Amino acid sequence: MIQKTSSGQYIFPRLQKFSNIIHAISTVDFGDMNIKRAENVSNIKRYAEEVGVSYNKMIFMQQEHTNKTKEVHVEKKYVYKKVDSLVTTKKVALNVATADCVPIIFFDPTTKTIAVAHSGWRGTYKNIAKNVLRRFSGRGIDVQNVIVALGPAIRSCCYSIDRKRACMFSKKYPKWKEGFLLEKDNTFFINLPSLIKKQLQESGIKEENIDDANICTYDSQDFFSFRKQQNRDHTKVFITSIGLI
Ligand SMILES: [Zn+2]
């Protein structure tokens, strides 16, 4: 569940109680957050100010629908290339940009480790969440205490896929397919958040430690949706952020 704040961004109420982190999700009101376009800098700066994080500590990714993850060792604004997840204990804000794909944020309250991941259909198929949690385990973190939140994404109500892709997924994840694949009037619909929750639990995350925004980007007026946008060469995106302060 997420809530809109008076300054316009969304938050997960359960993460709000931790005083050593900031987190938020931007909306269409802040404008496009695509870092590739220079004119968006002012949008990102305004959002950073509202969220309470220095623009100079904002870390981004040039996302490529991989399942690759990297560790962040710098404490200044930076863009990581060819990566779809970042993990850190540095005092920075990690950002994941999406418009229908599933943005995921991770927080371990014990070691104060944070992570973000971009899990669209390709990243989910390749189980990027598992790679993030491998990094956590590699740092000696007990993932049982880790809190994970899934941001707004296109959901099965609006996410039709072709038979070929449906077959790919049902072959790779046969034991969960009833939960995330639906067939209606010869069309397949996929529920990525549902599959991601299974992947997270298989990697050791407790069910009660998973939060879900439960908002469909295609239906919502507050978030950008790739499928809904006419100009797909210039897809507008929103960002989901988590930072250590
Ligand atoms: Zn929908």
Q: With contact defined as beta carbons under 8 Å apart, do 83 and 68 qualify?
A: yes
Determine the distance separating the centroid of ligand 1 and the alpha carbon of 192, expressed in angstroms: 12
Burial class (CB in 10 A: 0-12, 13-18, 19+), 175: exposed
Tokens of 75: 């404490």
pLDDT tens readout for residues 120-157 = 999 999 999 999 999 999 999 999 999 999 999 999 99
**Spatial distance between the Cα atoms of 57 and 204, rounded to a whole number of angstroms:** 30
Determine the distance separating the centroid of ligand 1 and the alpha carbon of 159, expressed in angstroms: 7
State the DSSP code for 18.
-
Determine the distance separating the centroid of ligand 1 and the alpha carbon of 219, expressed in angstroms: 5
For 206-238, give the DSSP string: -GGGEEE---BTTT-SSS--TTT-S-GGG---E
Q: For residue 231, what pLDDT is reported? A: 78
Taking the whole predicted model, whether its pTM rises above 0.95 is answered as: yes
What mean pLDDT do residues 3-27 have?
A: 96
Q: For residue 232, what pLDDT is reported? A: 74
**DSSP H or E segment with residue 29:** none
Determine the distance separating the centroid of ligand 1 and the alpha carbon of 153, expressed in angstroms: 9
Q: Sorting pLDDT into bands at 50, 70 and 90, what band is 234?
A: confident
**Spatial distance between the Cα atoms of 224 and 245, rounded to a whole number of angstroms:** 28
